[in-house]
Amino acid sequence: MCGIVGYIGSKDAYPILINGLKRLEYRGYDSAGVALISEGFNVQKVKGKVVDLEVLGVSQSKAGTIGMGHTRWATHGEPNEINAHPHISFRGHFTLVHNGIIENYSSIRKHLLTRGIEFLGETDTEVLVNLIEHLYLEGDLTAEQAVQMACHKVSGAYGIVVACKNEPDQLIAARKGSPLVIGVGDGEYYLASDATPLIEHTNNVIYMNDDDVAIIRRDELVLRTLKSDKLQPKVTELDMSIGEIDKEGFDFFMLKEIFEQPRSIQDTFRGRVLSDLSGIQLGGLLEVLPRLYKAPRIIITACGTSWHAGLVGEYFFEEFARVPVEVEYSSEFRYRNPILNGQDIVIAISQSGETADTLAAIRLAKERGSTVLGICNVVGSSIPRETDAGVYTHAGPEIGVASTKAFTAQVTVLFMMAMLVGRNNGNLSQEKFEALIRELVNIPDKMRKVLEKEQDIMKLAEIYKDAPNALYLGRGVFFPVALEGALKLKEISYIHAEGYPAAEMKHGPIALVDENMPIVVVATKDQTIDKVTSNIQEIKARKGKVIAIVSEGDTEITAIADHTIEVPETFPEFSVLLGVVPLQLFAYHVAVLRGCDVDQPRNLAKSVTVE
Ligand code: G6P
């Protein structure tokens, strides 16, 4: 949700900013801009993507060793050049880039209008930069003081980088609710919404916390709280390599990430599954394990694909640990009056660790006395820092907007957590526990076999690429897989797709079934397989086209479905990991055949830091 970059040092800022924006483009991509700060502000902005900004830059001056850049996901005001960032204040003293939403912008705007300030566009950000300037001029303040005071006056979320014309050798950064990371170089500093643009410059980063303000000069970084208390910056070493954020020969990040899954799952359980396969160790949970083992109830909260992983987790906890689980959309949970107590465990799942609604749900649960655990992918992001304990998924950076490897890593973590609880509360025998671990270790190889089916899946994509609608069905633990398959297809190919519990189809979606309707059924072996077979018969009786994901060696469903994709046999819980891969590949190839921008689907953003 908007990407911010900044640079101050002795190198040319422009290429650093452009490159950084490209790395962050997955956060938003409807308009982009840079400001170079030397003798005044040189602001260049366009409606469109960072490549369009580069085209504009060809005919512009690029001089300057200080600058900031922005790639936008519109909240207030349509995507156009005027609403693009950086914004310059009315009297020209300040320029600013912003990620987040200023909720009280309307009343501030009205006040500023009465003071003779004129606005060019409709954004909340233009209000913020003008508020800073107004306070600066009226109060005869320093730039730092004006930024601090403005931050006190606004409500909502922001990550901002600000420059002042009269104090040209510094950048000011502030954060509340929207992430900002400072990269520490030698006589230079970098700023970004996340660490991906920094890794090619430095391994040393400082994660800003809410209500931090940083005054950054070439040779000095001063970090303070909004109340002006000086802070000691905590430098963290990044554990990320440049290769992890490159496409490495794949056409799209999404395809690279789909193919990375055998490795990423392995990374998720590596070092956590004991070498003799007799146990699991989740270091990040050590302190809370006694509470987790005794929890009378678990509430899982998340958004999007992470919510689907949560639904899978519900089956795992019920099956292995016999603990009641509720799975909540964070955006709903945060505005309800949920009944929580000190013994409940809340698990927040998030790839980015920055989703605004999930953060708010965590804060609510903590207020109500629950222990909150996080399952996150991005190390050092806000959610791991706000939760009581947690487990990193270790899937590596996920850049494609449609989540793939983060989902399978989240499912793997939930699986390990549920098994741990089950074994400790006596609901999972040591024998079954060890059998499950032995199979978990085999899953990466089995997944490689599924990936070998890509050509077959491409053929299916060719057949169904023009379908206006698609239905995805699954039962039990495969119902969330169906939801996830439908989400993948709709978000990247724009085909309307719905996920449904297979038997519920009779209560509505069956009315849509005709000879043009592809229906993807996750029909791998479990105790409901006969029922699912009957559901497929019901579809075939109405001439629907069935693509079934089946277990290797299946003959019954293969005889009635129009197409089948086999996945290796395993425990049903692991069939989630194997069964979702053909659905990811199907969505990917349909989208490619339809000419869609797979990594940057329209209107979506990878990290939703606004509510
Ligand atoms: C956005 C992304 C999804 C993601 C969801 C939740 O919608 O496009 O891929 O599943 O946010 O994000 P999180 O980072 O909290 O998992």
pLDDT digits (tens, 9 = 90+) for 564-580: 999 999 999 999 999 99
pLDDT band at 103 (very low <50, low <70, confident <90, very high): confident
Tell which phi-psi region holds residue 89, choosing left (phi > 0), alpha (psi between -120 and 50) or beta.
beta
Cα separation, 567 vs 577, in Å, equals: 10
Is 511's pLDDT higher than 90? no
pLDDT single digits (tens) 353-411: 999 999 999 999 999 999 999 999 988 888 999 999 999 999 988 999 999 999 999 99
Task: For residue 198, give the amino acid letter.
Answer: L
Instruction: Determine the pLDDT at residue 307.
Output: 98
Task: For residue 43, give the amino acid letter.
Answer: V
> Is residue 381 within 8 Å of residue 606, measured between CB atoms?
no
Cα separation, 454 vs 451, in Å, equals: 6
Question: Ligand 1 pocket check: which of 27, 300, 305, 327 to mutate, most ligand atoms within 8 Å of Cβ?
Answer: 305
Instruction: Determine the pLDDT at residue 248.
Output: 80
Share of the chain above pLDDT 90, in %: 80
Average pLDDT over the chain, rounded to an integer: 94
> Is residue 24 within 8 Å of residue 192, measured between CB atoms?
yes
Cα separation, 490 vs 520, in Å, equals: 14
Tokens linked to 475: 């039962």
Measured in angstroms, how far is the CA atom of residue 303 from the centroid of ligand 1?
6
Is 459's pLDDT higher than 80? yes
pLDDT band at 253 (very low <50, low <70, confident <90, very high): very high
H runs (alpha helix) in 465-571: 478-493, 529-540, 556-560
Q: What is the mean pLDDT of residues 529-542?
A: 90
Residue-wise DSSP of 105-122: HHHHHHHHHHTT---SS-
Count CB neighbours of 179 within 10 A: 28
Could you identify the residue written with the tokens 């303040």? 141
Q: Of 507, 480, 512, which is closest to residue 496 (Cα–Cα)?
A: 512
> Is residue 143 within 8 Å of residue 109, measured between CB atoms?
no
Task: For residue 531, give the amino acid letter.
Answer: K
Is 1's pLDDT higher than 90? no
> Is residue 484 within 8 Å of residue 308, measured between CB atoms?
yes
Measured in angstroms, how far is the CA atom of residue 531 from the centroid of ligand 1?
33
Cα separation, 580 vs 8, in Å, equals: 44
Q: Which atom of ligand 1 is closest in space to residue 605's alpha carbon? A: 8
Q: What is the mean pLDDT of residues 99-113?
A: 92
The β-bridge partners of 521 are 473, 548
Instruction: Determine the pLDDT at residue 509.
Output: 85
Binding pocket residue ranges, ligand 1, CB within 6 Å: 303-306, 350-352, 355, 358, 401, 403, 604, 606-608
Please, which residues have CB within 8 angstroms of residue 585's CB and are 6 or more apart in sequence? Answer: 258, 451, 453, 454, 457, 458
pLDDT-wise least confident of 76-80, 185-189, 519-523, 543-547: 76-80
Report the Cα–Cα distance between both ends of the chain, in Å, rounded: 11
Q: Of 598, 236, 201, which is closest to residue 399 (Cα–Cα)?
A: 598
Instruction: Determine the pLDDT at residue 610.
Output: 74
Measured in angstroms, how far is the CA atom of residue 358 from the centroid of ligand 1?
10
Give the pairing type, strands 371-376 and 389-392: parallel
Q: Which atom of ligand 1 is closest in space to residue 402's alpha carbon? A: 9
Measured in angstroms, how far is the CA atom of residue 333 from the centroid of ligand 1?
16
Instruction: Determine the pLDDT at residue 247.
Output: 83
Instruction: Determine the pLDDT at residue 156.
Output: 87
Q: What is the mean pLDDT of residues 520-538?
A: 91
- The residue whose C-alpha atom lies closest to atom 7 belonging to ligand 1 is 304
- The residue whose C-alpha atom lies closest to atom 4 belonging to ligand 1 is 304
Measured in angstroms, how far is the CA atom of residue 349 from the centroid of ligand 1?
10
Question: Ligand 1 pocket check: which of 257, 352, 357, 359 to mutate, most ligand atoms within 8 Å of Cβ?
Answer: 352
> Is residue 69 within 8 Å of residue 97, measured between CB atoms?
yes
- The residue whose C-alpha atom lies closest to atom 8 belonging to ligand 1 is 606
Measured in angstroms, how far is the CA atom of residue 188 from the centroid of ligand 1?
33
Q: Of 48, 87, 47, 92, which is closest to residue 68 (Cα–Cα)?
A: 87
Half-sphere exposure of residue 552: CA atoms within 13 angstroms, side-chain side: 11
Question: Ligand 1 pocket check: which of 607, 610, 611 to mutate, most ligand atoms within 8 Å of Cβ?
Answer: 607
pLDDT band at 602 (very low <50, low <70, confident <90, very high): confident
Is 242's pLDDT higher than 90? no
Measured in angstroms, how far is the CA atom of residue 381 from the centroid of ligand 1?
14
Is 245's pLDDT higher than 80? no
pLDDT single digits (tens) 13-49: 999 999 999 999 878 788 999 999 988 999 999 999 9
Is 244's pLDDT higher than 80? no
Could you identify the residue written with the tokens 């913020």? 128
pLDDT band at 4 (very low <50, low <70, confident <90, very high): very high
Cα separation, 429 vs 317, in Å, equals: 14
Cα separation, 144 vs 325, in Å, equals: 48
pLDDT single digits (tens) 308-336: 999 999 999 999 999 999 999 999 998 88
Residue-wise DSSP of 469-492: EEEEEE-TTHHHHHHHHHHHHHHH
Give the C-alpha distances (Å, rounded to integers) separating 486 from 304, 493, 497: 12, 11, 5
Q: What is the mean pLDDT of residues 234-242?
A: 85
> Is residue 461 within 8 Å of residue 492, measured between CB atoms?
no
Residue ranges of E strands in 48-91? 66-72, 87-88
> Is residue 398 within 8 Å of residue 405, measured between CB atoms?
yes
Measured in angstroms, how far is the CA atom of residue 355 from the centroid of ligand 1?
7
Please, which residues have CB within 8 angstroms of residue 491's CB and are 6 or more apart in sequence? Answer: 401, 402, 601, 604
Share of the chain above pLDDT 70, in %: 100
Q: Which atom of ligand 1 is closest in space to residue 305's alpha carbon? A: 10
- The residue whose C-alpha atom lies closest to atom 2 belonging to ligand 1 is 606
- The residue whose C-alpha atom lies closest to atom 1 belonging to ligand 1 is 606
Question: Ligand 1 pocket check: which of 194, 306, 599 to mutate, most ligand atoms within 8 Å of Cβ?
Answer: 306
Task: For residue 439, give the amino acid letter.
Answer: E
Instruction: Determine the pLDDT at residue 14.
Output: 97
Residue positions annotated with a catalytic role: 2, 606
Question: Helix 304-316 crosses helix 572-593 at what angle (to 10 degrees)?
Answer: 160
Residue ranges of E strands in 483-581? 496-501, 518-523, 545-551, 563-567
